[in-house]
Each structure stands twice: as structure tokens, then as C-alpha cells.
Structure 1
């Protein structure tokens, strides 16, 4: 009990100290490392040779492990990838495909509740403009040190976007595609257990919600954070969300040369819901093209 009271007092003192030590026009940069784990065996890794599996894992690592920079002031922030120059062709097809589901620079304004994100999808530029949605954080008293900052723990339940690749999974046994379920209802049994659906997305599922653990520091008294995360009484330095961990590796306060936090402006303006509908239609078109080729191929064999 005494420990809990002591940590609560520490949190209050840290918040007050932070509030008085920052001017209204301050700016900072937080560097983050983002890492997403993925079980390659779920996606056909068991059938690969050790050499091929190692090659695929190396290519995926460039896509699953990225560095970002969050530039922030009292009310605004922009979160963008710290891109490294790579040799031509080193990204691979997986990286090019995945980039269609990975957002560009993300702007958040916690005062006006505005969110803007630059997004490219299969060669077309979009500007996602929507209301900045927050999480219902449960504040804890548990602390840990990240660098020179004392951080406090907070947890929340987050609704997952159905096209968030970081939480995509292959359906397990007994959780087949809709077509499989229909076939079972008719009493039909597949002759070939390795047969896949014409629609690859039917074999993929995304959880509706995930649990989020965040660590924030009141020593930097802004309610900003990496990616979608914000709304705590201090900068979020670490986030664990499903299979993704985002960790702050460096903070620069009040750099000599300040950057303008500019809103993304390029692309066709859409809401998140409208953008998801565009993706859905594109995936349907791809499914129909893929299914049509299979059908024509089957006709030639007969």
C-alpha cells in the first residue's frame, strides 16, 4: 500500500515538474525502433529449404523492422519513417507489396483532434483525413527506467483495422475460409488438403481487438506518442501492441534547428472508412482476375 502511494506521489511530482520546465514553443524529436514478429511457418515456411527460409527471413526483416522519427511540440506531431538508402533491388517483391499497406507520414493534432496520413496504394496517392481517435487508458503505478526517463505503465484495448498487416494471421485448423465452410455444410470433403482458396484474403484473419501496453514519461509533459498512440500525461516511449513493439532509442529536446511540423497535403482526400472501401474493391478485383485465370486454365486442361 505504501509503495503504491509513493509511486502515485512520484507521478504527480513528475507531471508538475515537467509542466513547469517546458516553454510553450518547445520542440523535440524522438527516435523509435519498430519491430513486428511473424511466424514464417504459418505462411509456408515449413515447405522451404533452410537456405530459402533464411533468405526470405532476411528480406522480411527489412520490412518488419523499421526506424521512425516523431517530431513534436505541445499540440502537434508528425511520425515518419527514417528511411535508409538501399541498394537497387534489395527491397524485394514482398517489400513493394507491403508498402501498399504501410502508411506514410502521420500528422496528429491533439488540440483539434485532427489526423492526416500520407498513403500510397498500388501507385495512387491518397490523403487520409479523419478524427484523431483516442484509447481508454488505464493508468498504473508500475514504473521502469527507459534511458534517463522514469516511465509509468498504462494499458488499453485497441480496435484493429481489418487491413492492419501487423496483426494478420493464417486461419488455423477448423477455421477455414467461407468457401470451405460452405463445402462442409454440403457434406463435401476436399480431395487435396493443400488446395488454397481463389481469394487469399479468405485464409487470413485479423483479431477485432488487441491489448496495448504503453510506457510514458511525465518528464516530457505532452500527450503524444508513436504511430496511433497518444493521450497520456507524458510522451510515450514504448508500446507493445499484439506482435509489434515500438521503443524509443533517442530523444533530442529543443534542437538548434527546429523543423516545421507540416501537414501532409498530397493525394486524394478520403476518410479511413473510405480508404478501406477502396482497398476492399481492389482486393475483389484481384480475386476476380486470379479466379478467372484459374478457370480459363482449367478449361484448357479439359
Structure 2
């Protein structure tokens, strides 16, 4: 009888815990983007103008930190620049720092506003098809239990992501999607950049905050690649690093 009562108590506790499990489908996530600028400069100027790269490294902090907000509601996500940070990078033109990305996950459609030097482009295309490999490694990010997944994009860029199924919208920062939950942590180790959620807020999303951007010359991802490649064909490694940063 004692064993039976204990078993019933365990069942009731499990049921109560399940009832209190919260699955989010709307809210706002703040992401901290962190770049190792000195490593990027080494890659940009490798074998070309080493003295210029070394001069920039002396003037700039090793790491650049910026913030982005990801609004989500159902299958819609909207990624945009967040709060500003006082640093010594204000005079530099850094790629992807002004990105605004609207994604309809249900339709697998994305519209991204990207600034390339002094021009705005609207990259209108299908979402990136990423072949994720989910692992058993876990990590807690912004209070959520996350599982690791790995992938390779653009033929050679290694990606590590941590996602949580407690947020059911299968989105993530920039153009990274396709996991069974929200990506809260992202690292591209060979590209010297990470995105990690600092907080998740249960905000009601107003319809006007989740509309796609409209300003800019409309192009596909292939078209944008072609434009940047032609503009920077004589820029060597700098052009290659810049192109990768824009297309992420």
C-alpha cells in the first residue's frame, strides 16, 4: 500500500509540474553580438597591408559588442538593432550592424534590409536551408535549457547553435532558423563572432513591429552576392571577409 501511495504521489507531482511548463510563442529577445575585431583584422589584411591592420588594432578594442532585438509572434520573427553601446568603433563602417530581418517561418520567406556602405538593399528570398546535426550537449542561456546543434553554411562556415524548445517559434538571430525551437546562442568560431541571448521578455507584439522592411533596392541573395563581389573584386581578403559578414 505504501508503494502504491508513493507511486500515486509521484504521478500527481509530475502532472502538476507538466501543467506549469510554459511554452512561449511571442515576446522579445535581446541578443549580444560579440566580435573579435583583432582576429577579423588579421584575416582581412593577411599577406597584404600588415602595417595598416596593425595600426587599426592599436586604435580599436579587441572585442566589439553590439545588441539586437528579436521580436517573435507565432511563425513571424523581426530582428533589428537594439540598444547602443559607447565604444571606439563609431567612426568605423562595420558590416551587418544595421541589418533588419523579417522572417515568415511558415512560408519560409525572408526579407532583409542590409546596408552596404552608403546603399540600402532589400534581400528578398527564401529562408536558408540549414542541415543541422543535433547533439546531446546542453547549456543554460538566459534562464533556458538549450541543446547544441552544429552545421556548415555557405560551403565552409562552421556554425554552433544552442536552441530551446520552450520557445516554440523556430527562429534565431540574423538568418539562422530551422531548429525545433528558438536559437538563443550562436557561434561562428572561425568567423570570430557570437550571438547570445541576454534576456527573454514576454512582450505583446504590436502588428506594426512585425512588418517587413520596405526601403532599399530589392535583390535576391545571389543578386546581392554579385553586387558586392563586383564592387570589391580588387579588395583581396578584406572584400572576402566583408562579403561573408554581409551574407550571414
Structure 2, unpaired ranges of 5+:
1-13, 237-248
Relative distance call for 1:275 and 1:216 in structure 2 (3 A) is same
Pick the aligned partner of 2:138 from 123, 140, 143.
Answer: 143
Q: Secondary structure at the match of 2:232?
A: helix
Q: Residues 76 and 107 of structure 1 are in contact (CA less than 8 Å); yes or no, is this contact kept in structure 2?
A: yes
2:178 is equivalent to residue 224 of structure 1: no
CA drift of 1:124 comes to: 2.4
Give the TM-score taking structure 1 as reference length.
0.60
Residue equivalent to 2:4: none
The residue number in structure 2 matching 1:84 is 84
Partner Cα separation in structure 2 for residue 129 and residue 83 of structure 1: 26
CA distance in 1, matches of 2:57, 2:220: 39
Higher strand share: 2
1:260 equivalenced with 2:212 (yes/no): no
> Match of 1:277, SS?
helix
Matched with 1:57 is 60
| TM, length-normalised to structure 2 | 0.72
Matched, 1:35 2:34: yes
User: Residues 210-289 of structure 1 correspond to what in structure 2 (within 5 A)?
Assistant: 210-242=157-189, 243-255=192-204, 260-284=209-233
Task: Check the 8 A contact 2:141/2:196 in 1, yes or no.
Answer: no
Does the 8 A contact of 2:131 with 2:152 survive in 1? yes
Partner secondary structure for residue 60 of structure 2? helix
Give CA deviations for 1:139-182 in whole Å, capped at 9, x if unaligned: 122222223211111111111xxxxxxxxxxxxxxxxxxxxxxx
In 2, distance between residues paired with 1:111 and 1:125? 26
Mapped partners of 1:154, 1:283: distance in 2: 33
Q: Aligned-pair distance for 1:255?
A: 4.2
C-alpha deviation, 1:85, in angstroms: 7.4
